A and B are shown apart, each in its own frame.
Chain A
């Protein structure tokens, strides 16, 4: 157990099904209270659904696991109401530096421009994240059931029946929908006999969490072939509580048990630090990894999210960060389906959108792994040639691949998008996650949207918004799937049926190419569904129907 962290014990309570003879039918059960399962449960609860969350354990994750949480994950956690403690406790960073042997060859900045609420990355031990999310889940009324292990699952046409084992015995739970977030080994995936396919990398890595006082800056440092660990790679990250995470590449032939011995690990770290500073080991493990995914993330009423559905190598921080995006994508769709406001095939677009995202994550993390751990002599030769050229030549820096760090997926080809009919500059194509921008006095655009469908109308002066548009806003806000309107204006003002967001620096208007009364329809997960140069109620309603898989306007 680490010296810096005490694992909480969450209270087990006898489930109501065992306390009294009643059989409840639940709309949604989530299995697995890791970061992704907790995110899905909180999101659905905030959307008004009763949610049961089952976890076989009664504490948070043990050991050094997830580490880097990307800007998009922080934005999602903001929407769920748990980003602030992550930011307060975590170590924010934007700069990554790459070394080849004893020289720095490349440096990147994840957020090269100002005017975003959240930094490129925050490093934080996964157990903290889970603790904050578990607290939030309890606060918003998720029915979290610790020490509840699913031992059997039987999907049927109208329901999924679970057998759940507890310290008080086994009980049956019926749910309309099952979200499976039970991790890479996913017991439920196995119970259902579903395959997950991909490749295992023939390499081993040593993880060491080290407690020490060090004045290294909060940056990601990556070494190829450093003098202190020749022919292999090393990655250094700063975490909270003066804990540093070091990943040493060991090669496939390394003996995991021998490598875990403290004297061996201490020698490696001493060689790396190159001085006599004091440090303590918090955690040591040796791991291998794989890049693989399930062919489909939706199986009828069973929906797989996070590591249960797809796994990547750690280079690029695309594991938990993609899992958060899964939860973000699924929650609003499931809520509409449960409420009878969208057909079940809206859930197929979860598979469509997040399946493509998983492919992109697997592609990028596989490429990073192939660059970091070349599989042939010629691959190593090209790798070293790139690194040798990178110090002096910008083109080669672009080829250096120590991990393409997690950025949110752009669902550019999604069936839910309405294609542009007019030209727009900039990157906010339909399917994109919203770019942030400062609004009002110290506020952020990303905080003003999300959780519901929303319309953004860009104008200079709110007073100039046409009466017919104001009336149309009222129609949209009263629709079965309500659309809230916001005016993004260059100056303050009041508009009926809409909230006015003042684009104080003009950044929002620029990032969205909003000049001349542009209109954006934004999904509850803050992805753009459609955009136009002029407001047209019928076009908005058609785009809303399309974004929710409804055949007719709603």
Chain B
């Protein structure tokens, strides 16, 4: 009789390799390009530095996403002589204005070799769509390029961005008075509208972005302002009168905008699809790092306005504790208070030079409350020009600044 050996054959779940699923990589994102050093600009950051200051995340976003034209084909209408060129013809470019693309970056990836080059446009002829480049590049008919930073320096008010972001004394950097350097980080890995992304960036940096026009060039320029900061740009004291009455009206922000109990979540977790850190503050208690001053703001809001409302926010861009605490404190301070709104109408001669974003005082004791008159700072949040010859005027809405 044969001797058998009892055995068991085990095949272990090896019909196919495990699924890799979603993978994550530790990385630091975009770096400054040469725009940060253009001209005499000096904000403490240089080309090649990591962009994480929110002022410059916003600026780079504008330059690289908004002021950009993607997938522009290189061609010469059948007469192209492929090779190393210092000029390329791009009939699909949107502008036909001479020099419009001067200073823009051109990124060309050569499909045959994978060689990636970024050059700068030195000249543009609108009638022929010919770009002159800062150096020769090897291209072929049918290659693609993309352009960014188109009109960047004309469309960004550099001084306003540096006031917010400057590494020495910017409102969102160490020198801004809080001792905290704000840091933003995010991978935008799904299509979103640029307006939504900018709104998120601006909300979480507590800044406003306005479009004013350069009086010399007539080109709209984006200006950035930290909401809680700014020195006075002037005093409004001579309103228009109609029927003998000064054209000033005063109101308060809605009571529905006052909150008393705050929760704030940050550090977005891509695997979970939600934030994983929380700050809180109410009249009784608050997270470490917030403190009794802010609990008192909550208590005061309850006492003053007889409301008890909860506020909750989930961050998209904030990952670090210090930045989260700074924004949280600014929001509590602002949202536990009804702020003054002033409608003010003036003549064109004296008021046409004010713009949205300016900080002003209002000196008109017959209408502005004691303690506020000629003392409290207001931000111009609306400017309406009535361009009539006989009856022209400038109408402002002013919003109280919570410093």
Q: Do A and B come from one complex?
A: no
Q: Which residues in A have some Cβ–Cβ distance to B below 8 Å?
A: none
B contact set with A: CB distance below 8 Å: none
